[in-house]
Amino acid sequence: MKQNRHIDSILLGHFRHYKEIMILLGARQVGKTTLLKRLFPDAYYLLVDNETVKQNLERYDISVYRQILPSQTVKLIIDEIHLLSDPGRAAKIIYDQIPNINLIITGSSSLQIKNRATESLAGRKFEYRLYPLTFSEYLFQKGIENNLNYQIIENILQNHAKEKTHTFDLQGVLGNVLIYGLYPHLVDQPNNSDYIKNLADSVIFKDLIELKTIENRSGALNLLRLLAYQIGSLVNISELSNRLNMNAVTVRRYLNIFEQSFIIFPLKPYSKTGRDEIGKMNKYYFYDLGLRNALVDNFNPIQSRQDYRVIFENFIIVEFLKANAYANFGFKMNFWRTKQGSEIDLVLTKNEEVWGIEIKTGNNRANQAFINRYSQAQVRTLSPSNFY
């Protein structure tokens, strides 16, 4: 099976340009290990989940490291380094004192790595993020498309978002993706709700709830479920605090943990012209819709669901986020909303250019209020029939 990813060329070029440590971050099972072993088949590989490896690395002793690591010039992958008590210290010793090694480290939680490693590795690292598959990667790995592309975002920029004829069942593939998400495992095992539920358990309970920074496990899980029901809606911290009987400081801290653990991401408001524009409250979206649907325990067919529109909205926004990161388009991503309820789902800005993207599953009219207020903006509409 073809496993190419958009990030391949970026990672392959890293050590041609830099000597610094490559840090690859991403949620559990997004394909970090598979990717690195495919790109660097001759690399020396250490898995910290192996107790012997962990014990040796946690001695933080250069003489021990020299015994267990190769003496020749080599790329070294340390997988799941966040499981060490002090990952930054281990990486710093290897980077500073074993110059023949090009170091690559991975972790499932940027929070754990950053808290323990950022200061130690200042000036010694470059961070990269691996997300669940893009829609293009999914089609490519399924053998439906022959090349990777950024067609969704390019359709917007070039005003090519029109209904097209495809050689495959676009709506069938999209419906499956909106329900089960885009984790690589699902390329070979579509419609696997059991896999998604088990993944949700491992991501949320093993990687997240077991963090010592989360004291109220049931409260954290309830907060995450509330967010799953509220995708596409303004999130009011005070309201969440009251509903969960949890103070606002804790709610904000848990939201940050969810973000750093690659479960959710915020979309901030775009506000330039007036007091009637929403300027403070964020929206939150999920990096993967399968995980979101597991939280609300709903894997019903997409067309029959009341949350179809917001699920499609989440899909489009996270596709833009992935493309923006991998291709370095350089867009700022926001949403726009007034206190009267006028709304644009996604606002892209770059330099002086502005694009307003309306994401629809029906035949709603374009938002004239945004057009009137931002006359220089280019407004586009994306729907399930024209997005790809």
Interval 15-68: pLDDT, tens: 999 999 999 999 989 999 999 999 999 999 999 999 999 999 999 999 999 999
Where is average pLDDT lowest: 82-91, 179-188, 201-210, 339-348?
A: 201-210
Q: In this predicted structure, what is the pLDDT of residue 279? A: 80
pLDDT over 70, % of the chain: 94
3 state SS of 340: coil
**With contact defined as beta carbons under 8 Å apart, do 173 and 280 qualify?**
no
What pLDDT is recorded for position 275? 72
- Residue ranges, comma separated, of all CATH 3.40.50.300 domains in the chain are 8-129
Q: Which residue ranges does the chain devote to CATH 1.10.10.10?
A: 135-323
Provide CATH code, domain 135-323.
1.10.10.10
pLDDT at 116 over 70: no
* CA pair distance 20, 36, nearest whole angstrom: 17
Q: In angstroms, rounded to a whole number, what is the distance separating the alpha carbons of residues 313 and 335?
A: 12
The whole-number average pLDDT for the span 274-282 is 83
pTM of the model: 0.94
Task: Please give the biggest Cα pair distance in the chain.
Answer: 69
Beta strand 353-359 pairing with 378-382: parallel
CA 337, distance to chain mean position in Å, is 24
Q: Name residue 101's beta-bridge partners.
A: 74
Element (H, E) at 281: none
For residue 285 the two structure tokens come to 């979206």
Q: What are phi and psi of 238, to 5 degrees?
A: -65, -40
Its CATH class, for the domain covering 8-129, is: alpha beta
